[in-house]
């Protein structure tokens, strides 16, 4: 469904991320969204982890949202939080949402619509009946200041036909997330290759100490089991081999402990640097 007049292109003022328990993704999402918008806001829908705290640490406004994820409720909450001062992109962050889909939403925002709504219908909905906006599943929602005010005034039972013709509106139904072709290099061909490449470049302690430690510990442990049957008498050769085996096992165990200690210390130092904005390498 599309209702349009002359499009007016305006810059993207704000990206509103909607989700919960996304502490592993929130910082990268905020950094990427700030490349395409002036401001980023998090609508936290009930996180039990450190999502909200991490968002605040990177200077992101957090709004604790408890309503249903409908265009009407989201726009009302945005207006109540004084977030209606420009073109706004609402993005629900789920486990199926990929960062590669962000450019698609940003490009739609640059087309100049007052309302651009990408949605999916529940399986039980009849395609021939009017689509009730509140019953759809949001892919993204883009609103101008005028479009946000108009959506906020609609009732929860409003259909897409109830949207005023004076508003530039476009409603797009999608059945599945859009898959973009990905170009891969040898370093990103697999998760393991990417991890191994990063460990080599960063001289990671788990690689420098952990792998040699595991090898020495396993060899020493395997050799120690054969010492009882390998030597039948006590002499300089048997004593030397025994001492070498014990030393190999202890050195391997010590190297694994050093790797774990350095890894934990590195994480703590990085966390302190990020918390107090210390320059890295100082």
CATH 3.90.550 fits 2-173, yes or no: yes
Specify the pLDDT at position 181: 52
Report pLDDT digits (tens) over 151-191. Answer: 999 999 999 888 988 899 999 988 755 555 555 454 445 55
Average pLDDT, the chain: 80
Question: Stretch 134-153: mean pLDDT, rounded?
Answer: 93
> Is the pLDDT score of 78 beyond 70?
yes
Q: What angle do CA 40, 41, 46 make, to 5 degrees?
A: 145
CA torsion sign for 265, 270, 276, 281 is positive
Percent above pLDDT 90 for the chain: 38
- The pTM (predicted TM-score) of the whole model is 0.61
Report pLDDT digits (tens) over 203-214. Answer: 666 666 777 888
Q: Where in the chain is the domain with CATH 3.90.550?
A: 2-173
| 6 vs 126, higher pLDDT | 126
Report pLDDT digits (tens) over 228-253. Answer: 565 556 566 667 777 788 888 888 88
Q: Count of CB atoms within 10 A of residue 65's CB?
A: 21
């Amino acid at each position: 469904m599309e209702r349009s007049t002359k499009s007016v292109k305006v810059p993207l003022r704000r990206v509103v991320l909607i989700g919960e328990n996304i502490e592993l993704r929130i910082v990268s999402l905020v950094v990427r969204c700030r490349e395409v918008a002036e401001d980023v806001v998090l609508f936290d829908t009930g996180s039990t982890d450190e999502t909200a705290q991490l968002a605040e640490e990177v200077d992101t406004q957090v709004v604790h949202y408890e309503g249903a994820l409908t265009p009407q409720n989201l726009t009302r909450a945005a207006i109540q939080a004084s977030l209606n001062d420009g073109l706004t992109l609402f993005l629900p962050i789920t486990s199926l949402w990929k960062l590669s889909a962000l450019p698609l939403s940003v490009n739609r925002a640059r087309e100049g619509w007052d309302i651009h709504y990408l949605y999916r219908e529940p399986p039980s909905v009849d395609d021939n009946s009017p689509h009730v906006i509140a019953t759809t599943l949001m892919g993204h929602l883009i609103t101008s200041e005028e479009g946000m005010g108009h959506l906020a005034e609609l009732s929860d039972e409003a259909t897409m036909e109830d949207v005023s013709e004076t508003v530039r509106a476009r409603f797009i139904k999608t059945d599945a997330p859009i898959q973009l072709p990905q170009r891969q290099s040898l370093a990103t061909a697999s998760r393991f290759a990417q991890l191994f490449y990063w460990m080599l470049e960063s001289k990671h302690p788990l690689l420098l100490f952990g792998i040699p430690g595991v090898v020495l510990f396993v060899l020493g442990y395997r050799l120690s089991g054969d010492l009882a049957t390998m030597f039948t008498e006590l002499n300089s050769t048997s004593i030397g081999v025994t001492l070498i085996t014990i030393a190999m096992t202890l050195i391997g165990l010590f190297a694994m402990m050093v790797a774990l200690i350095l890894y934990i210390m590195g994480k703590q130092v990085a966390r302190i640097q990020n918390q107090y904005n210390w320059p890295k390498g100082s």
